[in-house]
Amino acid sequence: MKVSAVISSIALFALASAAPSSQVAANSGVYHPMTWTGAITEGGPEVELNGTAQEITAQILELNPNWKPATEKNSLVAREWRDRGACGLVAGNNAERGATEENINYLRGIGEAGCGAKAHSCSRIACNWGSGIELCNDNDHEVSIQCRYLAEGAAELYNLCAQRNFKGQRFETGNFNIVVRASNC
């Protein structure tokens, strides 16, 4: 009897250890500010700023009052995403749909630059009115992904989860994912 209990415990530990890491960062509660790397003047040097898309937009405007947000949408978004996304399965509460749309537009606005997340953590990349979009990184290294690409991934998740308020998660082949859910902004 004791041997079977030990074997069962070992089997459960092995299953838990072998579980895909795709949810590890999203459920860890470990957050770091997003690192944004990009040019704030045409042809100018890249700068590194930290915060959400909204905070970075304010920082950019402080450094360059003539800066204009990007307006193009990414047409290649479906290329790398591992799935269409899942509604309601990620931990946390629902995000408000209208606030999520605003968050997506802020991410589109900071465009081609890289939005980054540290290893094994999430960065709150956009947040307002208690609703956030997070970049969760399950890699052993920091990632920097085009902000516009992340915005379009979140937009497709937004379109998939048709309720007024929702939460969802979408995985990318590069071992990171986008999470939309309620957040402390």
Q: Tell me, letter by letter, the H, E, C secondary structure of 3-67.
A: HHHHHHHHHHHHHHHHCCHHHHHHHHCCEEECEEEEECCCCCCEEEEECCHHHHHHHHHHHCCCC
pLDDT, position 112: 81
Domain segments of the chain: what residues?
22-182
Indicate the SS3 state at residue 133. Answer: strand
Q: Which helix (H) or strand (E) holds 102?
A: helix 97-109
Residue type, 107: L
CB-based contact 34:90 (threshold 8 Å): no
Residue 149 host element (H or E): helix 147-160
Exposed, middle or buried by CB within 10 Å (0-12, 13-18, 19+), for 59? middle
pLDDT of residue 26: 63
Residue keyed to tokens 């081609």: 112
- Cβ-contact 151, 104 below 8 angstroms: yes
Torsion of CA 39, 60, 96, 160, to 10 degrees: -10
Handedness of CA 36, 146, 167, 90 (dihedral sign): negative
- Euclidean distance between CA atoms 68 and 109, whole angstroms: 8
pLDDT given for residue 85 in this prediction: 81
Closest CA to 50 of 98, 108, 113: 113
pLDDT at position 69: 79
pLDDT, one tens digit for every residue, the chain (185 residues): 444 443 333 333 333 333 334 456 566 555 778 888 888 888 889 999 999 889 999 999 999 999 887 765 544 444 466 667 889 888 999 999 999 999 999 999 987 888 999 999 999 999 999 999 999 999 999 999 999 999 999 998 999 886 779 999 999 888 999 999 999 88
